[in-house]
Chain A
Amino acid sequence: MTTRRRVVGWLAGTLSLLLAAGTVSAHGGSLAGGGRESITVPTWLFLSTGGAAVGASFLLASFVTDRSFIERIHDWGAPLSVSDSRLPVLGARAVGLAGYVTVLGIGFFGPTTPQTNLAILLVWVGWWAGLAMTTYLIGNTWRLLNPLDTIALALPSLERDYPARVGAWPSVVGLLALIWLEVVSPLADDPRLLATAIVGYSVLTLSGAVVFGRETWFAEADPVERVFRYYGRVAPIGRADSGLRLRLPGMDLSTPRLVDGRDEVAFIVALLWGTTFDGLVTTPAFTDLTTPLVEAGLPPQLLYPIALAAGFGLFLGAYWLAVRLSRRAADTYLDETDLAERFAPPLLAIAAGYHFAHYLGYFLVLAPALWVTLLSPLSDPGAVPVYEPPGWFGSVGIAAVVVGHLVAIWVAHAAAYETFPSRLQAVRSQYPFIAVMVFYTMTSLWVITRPEVSLPYL
């Protein structure tokens, strides 16, 4: 059976690539927890290996040319039976509300040491690291947990018409604003400030939900809901027409019409750029590059928003350039927006891979502290236990980045097969996107191999 032989060959090739990436990662240092070590292979070689791994996986994927086999992989799965009981939903909403009240209460009145403050640990370790990881590894639960959604249920709604032209753009701006706030402000160190920021975000969100209706607001404008919804599409458990459905991780990303319009494409690129920006600002190169600008009279407060917007523009510009080139390479009459929508969702697998690489170590190191403070939220124990990850732990991060790319390449391959009648046309359409993925990968790998310095001008 040729298909099976091809698959075995493909798997073997992928495995040897993974092993190659693993050897590099032995020098690659730890991604997580911010402790970046210098690597023993030269940076240019490390970066080229990463880029070559992406290119080689694309070539390997292109050996799979059996349409029905690709369809079988993507349709594999089963509907999950869900009980009709309202109890799990109510329970989830209660847990979300309890977490929200705890974060605000402990944030305003708890201990001020960040390492022992439950609000800080619950938001950054439990929610932004832990819950986000379960979202793309298992399934999206934020839809039910979201306490603001639960509160909005009890509020009246004016049901004003949400302007269709605005679409997802508020969530794009909101996501960039959240990334900026997370990077420049001591939200991870100052519980009072964190609680204040959450109150501000809650007021904004609840007003939006009251004016435009709860469902519209969370579906369109709320950046947090959208981040979790998009991460959830990578997960093996997702929503189908009737209830929940189990499928292979990432395979939902090739579904047509998953992303609609330029605004939603921009959101996916913003999500990917956010994970990169986080690390970029702490590289020595960022300080070197921005020092002349500030000395020339650029106000330091403007530096970070400008850098954030410029990098986002660069990432988005690279993506749209790839779309234009792909349209030419495939010689297709589908319009640009259509192609952009088709090939943006695979990038979510890459974003999830980076998130996992970035936050798994952080989560494991601080999870014991979260547990201890959860048991006694109001006392300040002074010192909390932390977990020391073993030395090989850095390779887990690199492996996550590699796996994210492999899934993205496979899903884009499948989406191209579904879009174009000719299989060679489908392969050609992917050249520009693979170039963009290589660019994103090398940027991110470059960032994680730089020594970490403190943020300039803050």
Chain B
Amino acid sequence: MTDDYDVPENAEAHECRYCGRPFAREEWLALHRGLDHPAQLDDDEIAAFRAAHEAEESALGNFRLRALGALVVIYFCLLMIYALV
């Protein structure tokens, strides 16, 4: 991929040492290394990927709960409106 990057000045950027792609957060860099360069990682990077992946999984669990809540709200709002109209 020949992506173009646009890093704002004074912004913190964590650059991938394999492909140069910059990230705003270190965990994203850790995830990127594990996903895009799995064969090249050293032990520290593998550990960082595992940790970031675990943190991501639990954040996703929270997100799923909120998404489910939003779905239920949408569904019941529509149901009530249809019952009233």
Chain A residue contacts of B81, Cβ below 8 A: 45, 48
A114 on interface, CB distance cutoff 8 Å: no
B64 on interface, CB distance cutoff 8 Å: yes
Interface residues in chain B, defined as those with a beta carbon under 8 Å from any beta carbon in chain A:
1, 3-7, 11, 13, 21-25, 27-29, 31-32, 35-36, 56, 59-60, 63-64, 67, 70-71, 74-75, 77-78, 81-82, 85
Chain B residue contacts of A332, Cβ below 8 A: 24
Chain A residue contacts of B67, Cβ below 8 A: 59, 62-63
Q: How far is the CA of A59 from the CA of B64 in the complex (A)?
A: 9
- With contact pairs A41-B85, A421-B31 given, residues A49 and B24 touching in the complex (Cβ less than 8 Å): no
Chain A residue contacts of B59, Cβ below 8 A: 424
> A interface, by DSSP: helix, strand, loop or mixed?
helix
Q: Are B5 and A335 in contact (CB under 8 A)?
A: yes
Q: How far is the CA of A307 from the CA of B6 in the complex (A)?
A: 35
Chain B residue contacts of A20, Cβ below 8 A: 78
Q: Are B85 and A42 in contact (CB under 8 A)?
A: yes
- With contact pairs A421-B31, A423-B60, A425-B28 given, residues A59 and B71 touching in the complex (Cβ less than 8 Å): yes
- With contact pairs A59-B71, A334-B3 given, residues A424 and B56 touching in the complex (Cβ less than 8 Å): yes
A60 on interface, CB distance cutoff 8 Å: yes
A338 on interface, CB distance cutoff 8 Å: yes
A298 on interface, CB distance cutoff 8 Å: no
Q: How far is the CA of A257 from the CA of B25 in the complex (A)?
A: 25
- With contact pairs A41-B85, A334-B3 given, residues A422 and B63 touching in the complex (Cβ less than 8 Å): no
A333 on interface, CB distance cutoff 8 Å: yes
Q: Can you give 25 A-B contacts (C-beta < 8 A)? A: A13-B71, A41-B85, A42-B85, A45-B81, A45-B82, A48-B78, A49-B78, A52-B74, A55-B74, A56-B71, A56-B74, A59-B70, A59-B71, A59-B74, A63-B64, A333-B23, A334-B5, A338-B4, A421-B35, A422-B25, A422-B31, A424-B59, A424-B60, A424-B63, A425-B28
